[in-house]
Structure 1
Amino acid sequence: MAIKGQMQQTGYYCAPASSSIVLRVFGISRTQAQLAKEMKTDPKAGATRRENTLAVLNAYVKPKGYVFRLT
């Protein structure tokens, strides 16, 4: 499996950037900005809530038979 990295577009797009890379492995193409909006990334707090990240990732991969979980 080939994984193509990408540069994080802002200092607070950690979750959207890494999620974009992960989703691409599943054949799903979403930009960091799209994911940040869906994940409700908060520029003032400089972060994305784990629960929001997980919910968005699962919305995309569950139809393919996969599930992400917090450990």
Structure 2
Amino acid sequence: MGRRSGRRPVWLTVPLHVLLAVVLVLDVRAAVFWSRVGGPLGVPVTVAAAVAVLALLLLTSDARRQWSRSGPADDGL
């Protein structure tokens, strides 16, 4: 049961990237909101910022991987 190498289909990649971008935007908005509210809300701000950073890392690494695999296929000729 080997893994298929190659690109993920566009119909699957685009919605995943959009979903991750929405999560990123919502987490940044939550971090800004909780930081403006102030008080003892360090944990929600930290969690929102950590999730935003993780989402950004996942989005960029997957986009880079998909972009690098989008080149022409090497037929060995």
Asked whether the two chains share a fold, i.e. TM above 0.5, the reply is: no
TM-score by length of 2: 0.27
Kindly indicate whether structure 1 or structure 2 has the higher relative contact order, using CA contacts under 8 Å at least 6 residues apart: 2
